[in-house]
Amino acid sequence: MLNTQVGLGCTRAIVDKGILPHNHQIGQTGVVIKPKLYIGIGVSGAIQHKIGMEQTEMILSINTNPEAPLNSFSDVVFLGDYEEVIEQFSSQLSQLSVQ
């Protein structure tokens, strides 16, 4: 059976902008998470953020910057604009069929 539990976390930059409340902040001054899969969408991977998510089993990074620190400790890296990457990814997923 599929475990479809998902959560939405963010960096401090997102909290500072008022986009999400502080209880979503992952990191040194936020929460520590340990999911099976972490998808970092436009996340630089600063050390203060890393502290909160480095115990993840698999890390996927989507970032325009090849030098983003998150890429260096990710299992999978998609280089590019997140909107384009997610669009292509969704389109390919929708073509898969479960046997």
Ligand X SMILES: Cc1cc2nc3c(=O)[nH]c(=O)nc-3n(C[C@H](O)[C@H](O)[C@H](O)COP(=O)(O)OP(=O)(O)OC[C@H]3O[C@@H](n4cnc5c(N)ncnc54)[C@H](O)[C@@H]3O)c2cc1C
**Residues forming the site for ligand X (CB under 6 A):** 11-14, 25-30, 42-44, 46, 48-49, 52, 62-65, 68, 81-82
Measured from the CB atom, is 29 or 57 closer to ligand X?
29
| Residues 6 or more apart whose Cβ sits within 8 Å of residue 93 | none
Tokens 């929460």 belong to which residue? 31
Strand 37-41 and strand 58-63: pairing? parallel
CB of residue 1 vs ligand X: minimum separation in angstroms?
Answer: 33
Measured from the CB atom, is 59 or 68 closer to ligand X?
68
| Residues 6 or more apart whose Cβ sits within 8 Å of residue 83 | none
What is the Cα–Cα distance from 82 to 63, expressed in whole angstroms? 7
CB of residue 24 vs ligand X: minimum separation in angstroms?
Answer: 10
Token readout for 94 is: 């929708």
Measured from the CB atom, is 39 or 43 closer to ligand X?
43
CB of residue 87 vs ligand X: minimum separation in angstroms?
Answer: 12
Tokens 């998902």 belong to which residue? 6
CB of residue 2 vs ligand X: minimum separation in angstroms?
Answer: 28
Query: What residue is closest to ligand X based on CB?
Result: 27
